[in-house]
Amino acid sequence: MGKYRYLLIFFALFDVMYSIAELLTPIAVINTGYGFVTFITDGPFFDDVMSGQHGVASRCTFISLSYAILIIHFVYRYLLLFNPDHVRRFFEPAGVLILTLYFIFHGVSWTYICEHCLAPNEEIRDIIRPAFQEVYHVDADTVPCLTGQYMNASDYVVYKSWIGISSLTLFSSYCMTLYFVLGYKILTKINGLSTNNVAAAYIGLAQSSSGWGWQNGDTSTYNNWAKPPVTQPPTIGPTTTPFRSTLPPSEQRRSTAVVIGVDASLFSTNQLTFAQVDFITSLSHYIADRGPAEFAFFAYGCTQTSPYIYQYPNFVSTFEDTDKMIQTLKTTINQNCVRSSPLDFRSDADNIKAASALYPMANSSVITINVGATSIDVSRLSIPIGKYGLRVNTPEDITNLVPKVDSMIFGATGVSSAGVKVDVMKEDQWDFDVRKSEPSVFASSDYTDCAYMNTTDGLWYSDGTCATKRQVLCQYVLPLPPQPPTPNPTIAWQDPCYNEYTNFTYFEILSNAKCYRMSSSKKQFAEAENVCLSDHPLFLHVPKLVSIETREEEEQLKTLITGIPNEGMFWFGLKRDPTNSTNWYFINGDTYDASYSNWRDGYPRDADGCDCVALVVNDSSWINTDCNKPLYSICSYRFNGTEPTVKPF
């Protein structure tokens, strides 16, 4: 609730008090020609004139108390917008006593007016007696009430009535006027915070004799200069001495994934192939010196099929194991990559072009680097999409790539899009000051040039001076409430089976790195594999009929089966070994361990053609049956490694 907690307490207390008053002193109002009568209609004070008279007067005060609460609310909003320091000094918590006294003042004032100006005397009761007798059949002398008589009474009675009503009217008018004044000022301030009419605003970047630098002390090398027309863009940090962040671990970037596409075709970039491998080795070690990162690569241009393409994050290694990944890449290109004829050239371009950015660890960025002029563009896999896609063609490009990658690593995750450092443990609030003649914040300093942001394109410009009057883009930081503990406070858990094109399910309770889904149509066993592959990017992984390895896994698969009602059996990936009829194997390459099986009594049985295994719904058992039966099937793949060797059907 923040600073509103005191106001909410006031509202809650008022609601409780008003409900109690309504229960104890229910009231009604009638007209008496030249006046009015407010009286108690029921309850414990109805027959007690003395105490009931105080009760009906107390009800009068609740109108004033509602005014008091609204005034407190508007004053709070006004102070919060115009001077938050006043809120801290006045409202938390010393001001609560003052507000309580003000609240009581409202109630006492109205009670006094009601008790002394509107309480009935004998003359008033004689005037209202006929009306009460006729309508309610009640003696007016026994009714607790408040009255106002403006005419047809003694001067004393009329004078008191006018004093009471006038006082209450003036009091109400004062409150309503204060509402409108404060409300108008608050609305004007809120509208003034709009950035609709702001064309450009200074950011905290300026040039002095030592070069460009951030005025708040940040050392980020991120920039977003417009090219052209920048008069003197800053240079991007050192390119030889590796920079290592000195921030505490909680404020450093979490991870950077570098996805490198290598065209291994003998007929396109053959002369660059080995230079590419050397470049990847150097670049990976360079990035490793700067903090946590992940590494993956594409190798395409072979006439082999997709098992030799590696994709982030499913085939990934930390930089602690960089050398092994590099060696794998060398082996892929030099031994496993068949490059026989230009007519047989294969690049897997369709799979790569169809890919979209995946979801890495929290706060990660993904940089894609294409090596060679003809390699397929994989920039759509970058995060942010398309922005962090790079390409190198020459050794000079490789040299110039180092500061670009450095800027992306520390610019994208260490600073905001406006170039101001973002603390990952804080929440940033931005505000354009609305004063139209804002003087330059650097006009009287030693700075020779100041950067400003154009609000239309978001790019940075400078005009060779700091004297131009512009709005100023300001930043202040509010602390976030502490986050609840997580199983791993460093890396937020994300569904490893998520893909925007397919609908695979991950059962976290199994911890088996497998993703599952039901097929969309019935097929014979031999055709079921094709159903598993439908609508799935094959360069990521190859779904196959599932292997059921434990009782726990089978129980979870039953939850998928319930999504297809009125079906008795479902194919899974167990099949008779064609070389030994007493043996069974999983067609996805997983080892079939007879220590867990769920055969129905009398199964498996020896019968021609009954070489394929189905899961039976009604008794949750396995049977071997005719492979030509059309059934729905259960598909799966492993998301954390290369698929096992598969036996032929």
Read off the pLDDT of residues 59-106 as tens digits, 9 standing for 90 and up: 777 777 777 877 777 777 777 777 666 666 666 666 677 777 887 887
- Is residue 75 domain-shared with residue 122, that is, in the same domain? yes
Tell me, what CATH number does 339's domain have?
A: 3.40.50
CB-CB contact of 230 with 459 (8 Å) = no
- Is residue 70 domain-shared with residue 138, that is, in the same domain? yes
Average pLDDT for the chain: 69
* Residue 401 counted as domain residue: yes
Give the domain range for residue 545: 505-638
* Residue 375 counted as domain residue: yes
- Is residue 439 domain-shared with residue 532, that is, in the same domain? no
Lowest mean pLDDT among 318-322, 373-377, 474-478, 596-600: 318-322
Q: Calculate the CA dihedral of residues 461, 467, 473, 478 and round it to 10 degrees.
A: 130
Read off the pLDDT of residues 580-621 as tens digits, 9 standing for 90 and up: 888 999 998 888 887 889 999 999 988 778 999 999 988 889
50 burial level (CB within 10 Å; 0-12, 13-18, 19+): exposed
Lowest mean pLDDT among 262-266, 375-379, 637-641: 262-266
* Residue 109 counted as domain residue: yes
- Is residue 161 domain-shared with residue 134, that is, in the same domain? yes
CA distance 48 to 130: 21
Long-range CB contacts (within 8 A, 24+) of 177-185: 178/71, 178/74, 179/70, 179/71, 179/74, 182/74, 182/75, 182/77, 182/78, 183/74, 185/78, 185/82
Number of domains in the chain: 4
* Domain end point (choices 445, 462, 479): 479
CA distances from 649 to 279, 479, 565, 611 (A): 43, 61, 30, 11
* Domain end point (choices 464, 479, 494): 479
The two three-digit tokens of residue 392, written as one number: 């190198």
Axis crossing angle, helix 155-192 with helix 95-117, rounded to the nearest 10: 150
Residue with tokens 């002095």: 208
* Residue 428 counted as domain residue: no
Tell me, what CATH number does 513's domain have?
A: 3.10.100.10
| pLDDT computed for residue 106 by the predictor | 79
- Is residue 323 domain-shared with residue 364, that is, in the same domain? yes
Contacts of 448 (CB under 8 A, 6+ apart): 207, 208, 209, 464, 465, 466
- Is residue 541 domain-shared with residue 513, that is, in the same domain? yes
- Is residue 218 domain-shared with residue 335, that is, in the same domain? no
- Is residue 68 domain-shared with residue 172, that is, in the same domain? yes
* Residue 55 counted as domain residue: yes
* Residue 376 counted as domain residue: yes
In the chain, what's the furthest Cα-to-Cα distance? Answer: 121
Report the predicted TM-score, pTM, of the whole model to 2 decimal places.
0.32
- Is residue 188 domain-shared with residue 204, that is, in the same domain? no
- Is residue 133 domain-shared with residue 12, that is, in the same domain? yes
CA distances from 288 to 66, 239, 284, 382, 408 (A): 64, 15, 6, 19, 14
551-581 burial, b at 16+ Cβ within 10 Å, e below that, comes to eebbebbeebbeeeeeeebbbbbbbbeeeee
* Residue 228 counted as domain residue: yes
- Is residue 471 domain-shared with residue 586, that is, in the same domain? no
- Is residue 518 domain-shared with residue 629, that is, in the same domain? yes
* Residue 297 counted as domain residue: yes
What's the pLDDT band for 575 if we cut at 50, 70, 90?
very high
| pLDDT computed for residue 307 by the predictor | 45
* Domain end point (choices 361, 387, 414): 414
| pLDDT computed for residue 419 by the predictor | 27
The two three-digit tokens of residue 551, written as one number: 């009782």
